[in-house]
């Protein structure tokens, strides 16, 4: 993340462009993941959700387009 700012209604996050880094793209590009790839992606998602939960952040829109991997 490069920076973040907000107005009265929205929070904006400025991030570097990572083409093809979201899970939706990866699911569409690859029909199947190997067991090792699936375990890695699931572990990343679990660690991320645990982290935002510990920080008491509520994310109401978790979907493949919003999961970005670097």
Beta bridge partners of 4: 13
How far lies 45's CA from each of 5, 10, 21, 60, in Å? 25, 24, 14, 15
Q: Which two tokens stand for residue 67?
A: 């999961």
Q: Are strands 3-6 and 11-14 parallel, antiparallel or unpaired?
A: antiparallel
Is 16 catalytic? The answer is no
- Which of the residues 7, 9, 16, 61 is marked catalytic? 61
Q: Residues with catalytic annotation? A: 61
């Amino acid at each position: 993340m490069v920076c973040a700012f907000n107005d009265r209604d929205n929070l904006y996050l400025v991030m570097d462009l990572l083409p093809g880094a979201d899970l939706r793209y990866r699911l569409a590009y690859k029909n199947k993941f190997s067991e090792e790839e699936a375990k890695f992606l699931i572990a990343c998602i679990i660690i991320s959700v645990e982290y935002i939960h510990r920080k008491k952040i509520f994310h109401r829109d978790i979907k493949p387009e919003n999961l970005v991997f670097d």
